[in-house]
Amino acid sequence: MTLKVGDTLPAANLIAGTAEGPKPTTVDEIFKGRKVAFFAVPGAFTPTCSARHLPGYKDLAADLKAKGVDAIVCLSVNDAFVMKAWGENQGVLGEIEMIADPAGDFTKAVDLTMDGSKFGLGLRSQRYSMYVVDGVVKQLNVEAGGEFKVSAADYLLAQL
């Protein structure tokens, strides 16, 4: 499935990186009955992701929530331990849900994979953001390769 506005997100098992450790979760548990500002990154601790992408959502968290967002969710094809450590490092653990897609199952299901092999990363997620209401995609912003514009927090905020 190539994800598009109006689609219901596909089922997938994911793992949240929480202060208490890894917590198995599902797409349904993350999105059902909620308005979610969601963004996906190629990798935790990578330069653009750490310097600009995640910090932008941290900085605009209150503004997003003022627009009716119930949760801010960050996903990466990493393991839950890495997502927890990155959330702690960035000071967002507990404020932004740090979700691991360890085998890329969700990322493959929405057809938003990228091959990061030339950077030593392997299969990863493309950089994108979306606004999801009760599991249905209302806004979708997929970056062109190597760019960081439309998946930024301020861009998504302007769409709400």
**128 domain residue, yes or no:** yes
Per-residue pLDDT of 74-110, as tens digits, reads 999 999 999 999 999 999 999 999 999 999 999 999 9
**30 domain residue, yes or no:** yes
**66 domain residue, yes or no:** yes
Phi, then psi, of 6 in degrees rounded to 5: 100, -15
Residue 116 has what pLDDT?
Answer: 81
**4 domain residue, yes or no:** no
Do residues 30 and 15 make contact, with C-beta atoms less than 8 angstroms apart?
no
For residue 40, pLDDT over 80 is answered with yes
Annotated catalytic residue, options 37, 49, 130, 157: 49
**3 domain residue, yes or no:** no
74 is catalytic: no
**6 domain residue, yes or no:** no
Q: Mean of the pLDDT values across residues 97-126?
A: 90
Residue 30 has what pLDDT?
Answer: 98
**2 domain residue, yes or no:** no
Specify the pTM: 0.95
Tokens of 79: 């393991």
Domain enclosing residue 108, as ranges: 13-159
Give the Cα-Cα-Cα angle 61, 23, 108 (nearest 5 degrees): 80
User: Residue 53 — pLDDT band, cuts 50, 70, 90?
Assistant: very high
Considering the chain, what percentage of its residues have pLDDT values greater than 70?
98
Phi, then psi, of 159 in degrees rounded to 5: -85, -15
**51 domain residue, yes or no:** yes
For residue 117, pLDDT over 80 is answered with no
The total number of structural domains that make up the chain: 1
Domain harbouring 73, CATH code: 3.40.30.10
